[in-house]
Amino acid sequence: MTIAVKCIELCKTYRQGDTDIKALDHLSIDVETGGFVCLSSPSGGGKTTLLNAIGGLDKPDSGEVWVSGQRIDQLGKAALADLRLREIGFVFQAYNLIPVLSARENVEFVMQVQGVSTDERRQKSQAILEEVGLKGLEDRRPAQMSGGQQQRVAVARAVVSRPALVLADEPTANLDSKTSDALMDLFSELNERHQTTFIIATHDRRVMAHVPRLIKMLDGRIVDDIAQTPV
């Protein structure tokens, strides 16, 4: 078993008015390659802060963050941006699609930045959009799509380059229960088919039920790490 993500004694404190809030409190965690993990906590429990630390979007005050065998909390901005571009896919609650681009163009955008050729971008974007159930909607812009369809575009964009790791922050927050279940089934399928490591931060109990490993957090600490049979 290889380790995709290793966090060692992470600490992160935010100042809120006159109060110090410990978002991460000496937190350590390993996630194996090909793992499918859900981080759960009440609001302010630390799950988004942990996800951001793993994705290199925020640096801990102390501790170590390792992704794909590389310590990332000490990387400079350029090296960190390159790592995120090539190794990590992000799925955000707000989708973060570019409004003036079509679904296909949104999916191709990361590959364009990576320097992938036009023909290869078109081939890969078409294949992944079909895989996520959006065949025939390739030329629609985000405003012409439902919330569930936009989230599928965001998922396609996150996984099209086959990153080693996909991080999803509250990916079902804007979706109805049927669409949420469909999205989690899609995550599971991509995880099994491509051995992509998924780490999902959520407070949605339906999402928690879909994963084989549920990590519960409270006040910046892990209070439970549960192996379970996904529904």
**Partners of residue 58 on adjacent β-strands:** none
Neighbours of 103 (CB within 10 A): 27
Q: What is the mean pLDDT of the chain?
A: 91
Q: What is the pTM of this model?
A: 0.90
* Segment (H or E) for 71: strand 70-71
Helix (H, G, I), strand (E, B) or coil at 73: coil
How many whole angstroms separate alpha carbon 182 and alpha carbon 224? 27
Q: pLDDT for 40-82, tens place per residue? A: 988 878 999 999 999 999 999 999 999 999 999 999 999 999 9
pLDDT at residue 172 in the model:
84
Contact 136, 129 (CB under 8 A): no
Structure tokens at 77: 């901005």
Nearest to 24 by CA among 39, 13, 38: 13
Domains observed in the chain: 3-227 (3.40.50.300)
Strand 36-40 and strand 197-202: pairing? parallel
Compute φ and ψ for 3, nearest 5 degrees: -100, 125
Find the mean pLDDT for residues 125-136: 90
The dihedral region occupied by 181, where left means phi > 0, alpha psi between -120 and 50, and beta the remainder, is: alpha
Banded pLDDT at 162 (limits 50, 70, 90): confident
How many whole angstroms separate alpha carbon 134 and alpha carbon 186? 12
pLDDT at residue 171 in the model:
87
Q: pLDDT for 6-49, tens place per residue? A: 999 999 999 888 888 899 999 999 999 999 999 998 887 899 99
